[in-house]
Amino acid sequence: METVDQALTAIERPNLATVQIILNAFRQKPLEAVLPAAQEAGVGIIARVPLASGLLAGRYSKDTTFAADDHRSFNRRGEAFDVGETFAGVDFENGVEAAREFTEIARDTGWRPPTAALGWVAQQSGVSTVIPGARNAAQAQTNAEAGTMNALPERFFEAAAELYERRIKPEVHHRW
């Protein structure tokens, strides 16, 4: 699903088991209605794009380049498919700056940014599973660490919500 409305329509269907939707610290709109509706209906949530195409891993700078055949190069403004699939729809330069802030929030918890970002998603009430991508074994190992973490502190969720409200929501919340 791309939009909250699509997910809510799907959840209303009888015998539906799961819904896939983009959910990450830079795409929080599903928290408002989709996750509560899914829980009420007994529908599982499969969260995808949990690292916002790598932004939430905290490794990119404004000068980072991607291969020509990488969607992070050719779909930044939705040229090939829904822009929300690339960096969760966030403008790359704004996303890099917001990711720097997210990195500091994550480090305050003692976790690496990608692990904390995956934990943020996995620990949302109603999320059944998370689909992170990995380009190599080291990334897969980092992703797996999220499954071993204790509950993130409430201050982490509060700081992520504040960052979203201030830096990301005005840009993307209305789209999906």
Phi, psi of 39 (to 5 degrees): -60, -45
Can you give the pLDDT at residue 176?
87
Pairwise CA distance, residues 99 & 107, whole Å: 12
pTM of the full predicted structure?
0.93
Q: How far is CA 125 from CA 2, 4, 31, 94, 122, in A?
A: 20, 17, 9, 28, 8
- CB hemisphere CA count around 96 (13 angstroms): 10
Please give the structure tokens belonging to residue 125: 């009430």
Pairwise CA distance, residues 155 & 136, whole Å: 32
User: pLDDT per position in the chain (176 positions), as tens?
Assistant: 789 999 999 999 999 999 999 999 999 999 999 999 999 999 999 999 999 999 999 999 999 999 999 999 999 989 999 898 999 999 999 999 999 999 999 999 899 999 999 999 999 999 999 999 888 898 888 888 888 888 999 999 999 999 999 999 999 999 98
pLDDT at 119: 96
Domains of the chain from N-terminus onward? 4-169 (3.20.20.100)
Q: Would you state the pLDDT for residue 149? A: 86
